[in-house]
A = this chain, B = another copy of it.
Amino acid sequence: MPMNKSSLYKGCLEPIVLQLLQTHRRMYGYEITQTVKEITKGELQITEGALYPLLHRLEAKGLLEAEIQLADNRMRKYYSLTKAGKEKTKSAIGELQVFMQTLEHLINLKLA
């Protein structure tokens, strides 16, 4: 079950996760993979091998903070944006929007 046929999402995972955490306030890893799968109707399946290391990197950079919680002998590691994370999210989303406009522009080109 690959993320996608020809991984276009490379480089976009970070802003996607940041944005999700901004709208949901607080999420754990597995929840992120399932939520994205639902929202995108299976189009984007974030692999755990990509997600967990990313979360760890973002935490190490001080953009996320983690809190472990137990329920029914189940561990959940909840992540939320730090102040720096919120700022980073803002700029990341801005860049992503510019990126999307640029992409659309490039794709809809007709020969002059």
Interfacial residues, chain A to chain B (CB-CB below 8 A): 4-12, 14-16, 19-20, 23-24, 36, 39-40, 43-44, 92-93, 95-100, 102-107, 109-111
Chain B residues, Cβ within 8 Å of A16: 103, 106-107
Given contacts A23-B111, A105-B39, contact A8 B95 (CB under 8 A): yes
Given contacts A40-B102, A102-B40, contact A109 B23 (CB under 8 A): yes
Chain B residues, Cβ within 8 Å of A4: 95, 99
Report the minimum CB–CB distance from A45 to chain B (whole Å): 11
Report the minimum CB–CB distance from A34 to chain B (whole Å): 14
Say yes or no: B12 contacts A105, CB within 8 Å.
Answer: no
> How many angstroms between the C-alpha atoms of A98 and B95 in the bound complex?
20
> How many angstroms between the C-alpha atoms of A9 and B108 in the bound complex?
17
